[in-house]
Amino acid sequence: MGPLVINEIISENTNLLLAFFIGIAFGFVLEQGGFSSSRKLAGVFYGYDTVVLKVFFTGAITAMLGLLFFSLFDWVDLSIVYVNETYLWSSVVGGVIMGAGFIMGGYCPGTSFCGAAIGKIDAYVFIAGLFIGIFLFGEAYEWFEPLYLAEFWGSPRISEFFGLSEGVTVLLVILAAVAMFWMGEKAEKMFPRDEY
């Protein structure tokens, strides 16, 4: 059955319309969770508010489990769902640069649009920065290219990489998430902050 657009159950135009509705749900949930506030987002790095950890990892394990069940019920063919490619070095270096951007800017791209939607001026400035950063990469692409294309590993799943079944992998991620939730709750008690 799924993915609906790849199996031609819905048309490409319907797919784009549904992208808009998926986006509405995405933006609504992010804002309701508090992701429109840079001070809440940055809280995870100082322990006073670990909402990022809780929402992000609950989201990731819900989606993982959902996809596993959908695949068990034959509702979605996981072999044709897009799996992000792994280019080892550009992934690591890109992640490090994004991490620096996160702690300095207090937002990531999705949350900055969410903050901008409710009037955060710092979010607009962050978005202006995103445009500049992507443009700089585009202009300097040839300089980045060797790193960008190095160590291409295809699209491996982490389960294949460690030789585990998908179910066991997801179980391990859930256990790790629960341990992190426990640490997050502890951290909020250890580094409380009244108002921010």
Partner 1 sequence: MTMETIRKPRNYMNPYLAGVLLGLVVLAANFISGRGLGASGAVKSAIVAGVETVAPKHAAASPFYDSYSKAHEGKPLNNWLVYQMLGVIVGGFVSGVVSRRLTWKVEHNPGIQSRTRLLFALAGGVLFGLGSQLGRGCTSGSALSGMAVLSLGGFISMAAIFGTAFMLAYFFRKLWI
- In 3-state terms, what secondary structure has residue 56? helix
By CB under 8 A, what part of segment 145-184 binds partner 1?
145, 147-148, 153, 155-161, 166, 169-170, 173, 181
Please identify which residue in the block is written with the tokens 């657009």: 5
Q: Are 153 and 86 in contact (CB under 8 A)?
A: yes
What's the start-to-end Cα distance of the chain, in Å? 46
By CB under 8 A, what part of segment 87-106 binds partner 1?
87-88, 90-106
Distance between CA atoms of 3 and 99, rounded to whole angstroms?
32
| CB of 129 vs partner 1, minimal distance in Å | 2
By CB under 8 A, what part of segment 112-151 binds partner 1?
112-123, 125-138, 141-142, 144-145, 147-148
Asked if 73 is part of the footprint of partner 1 (rule: CB under 8 A), the reply reads no
Total number of residues that touch partner 1 (CB under 8 A) = 133
| CB of 175 vs partner 1, minimal distance in Å | 15
Distances (CA, A) of 12 to 76, 80, 81, 109, 150: 18, 16, 16, 26, 33
| For partner 1, the closer CB: 128 or 179 | 128
